[in-house]
Amino acid sequence: MSVHRPAQRVTVPQLMAYKGTRKIAALTAYIAPIARLLDESVDMILVGDSTAMVGYDMPDTLSITTEMMSAHAAAVVRATQQACVIVDMPFGSYQQSPSQAFANAAAMLAASGVAGVKIEGGRVLAETTRFLVDRGIPVLAHVGLMPQYVNTMGGFKAQGMTDVAARLILEDARAHAQAGAFGVVLEGISEPLARQITADLDILTIGIGASPGCDGQILVTEDILGLSGDRIPKFAKRFGDAAQVIRDAARDYAQSVREETFPTLDHCFGVRPKA
């Protein structure tokens, strides 16, 4: 006889219930130590394909693979107990067909234990969202500035800045909502548009460079910790300086080694204690 333990994690339905009642705090993570530290504070952790740029120093997000994302997602899930964990589907793993998307999404969920997947794209991918949701895979959509579309967008540029462009993004978000997505990430779009989408749709809106009126906010953790270099995106804010802490610790360690003050015999094995 199996014993079912009550779920302790924030679930996708719980996240959806927060709309209109409380703001959702979300951050990215791709390694266990960072995920473990974030877990007690945030509602959702996204294992983003920004891992490609932040973790591997790739020029964009296009080269990371399903296997790599699954491995990072599994590490984040193992290291956490409370936050709802969502994983990005990498470029090329879901655009070909809904069947391709389901096969890859199901494999990623099975390998990692995440609660759902995020896909980038407008109305053309609403059918894929419906296909996944109907088969038991929660979907977080992503419209506006979409890093996986960097080549067709001509770079990382704000979106929805004209009436025509804003209407198209609104239609993109609405199509995913109608297809069953539990939420939509609104990235790099005009503030009034993000506020309108949040008011018009019943699903969650998670903003990044969008509007304080969104149902929640997400940032790349390395940006808020000062680990992304000197350039901070307009939509981000540095909440701490972990880079300096790491520099100081590394400097002190290296100096101790060179001065032969570390290690001492207290850090060694097989040493008889002094009488």
φ and ψ of 239, to 5 deg: -100, -5
- Token look-up 């009642």 returns 21
**pLDDT mean for each 10 residues of the chain (275 residues):** 62 98 98 97 97 91 95 98 98 97 98 98 97 98 91 80 96 98 97 98 97 98 90 88 96 97 94 76
CATH number at residue 30: 3.20.20.60
Do the Cβ atoms of 26 and 19 come closer than 8 Å? no
Identify whether 208 is part of a domain: yes
Identify whether 231 is part of a domain: yes
Tokens of 122: 């407008």
Identify whether 181 is part of a domain: yes
CA distance 39 to 46: 11
Identify whether 80 is part of a domain: yes
Identify whether 114 is part of a domain: yes
Residue 274: per-residue pLDDT: 72
Please compute, for residue 59, the number of CA atoms within 13 A of its CA located in the half-sphere on the CB side.
3
**Listed residue (11, 46, 17) closest to 207, CA to CA:** 46
Identify whether 166 is part of a domain: yes
* Position 225, amino acid: L
Across-strand partners of 242? none
Residue 275: per-residue pLDDT: 63
Identify whether 274 is part of a domain: no
Q: Is 254 exposed, middle or buried (0-12, 13-18, 19+ CB in 10 A)?
A: exposed
CA distance 140 to 180: 9
Identify whether 22 is part of a domain: yes
Q: Would residue 187 show up in a list of annotated catalytic residues for this protein?
A: yes
Nearby residues of 271 by Cβ (< 8 Å), 6 or more positions away? 265
Residue 2: per-residue pLDDT: 53
Residue 148: per-residue pLDDT: 86
Containing 267, the helix (H) or strand (E) segment is none
Q: Of residues 187, 191, 222, 259, which has the active-site annotation?
A: 187
Residue 273: per-residue pLDDT: 74
**Listed residue (87, 180, 98) closest to 133, CA to CA:** 180
* Position 113, amino acid: G
> Domain span at residue 150?
12-240
**What is the number of structural domains in the chain?**
1
Three-class SS of residue 75?
helix
- Token look-up 């304080």 returns 212
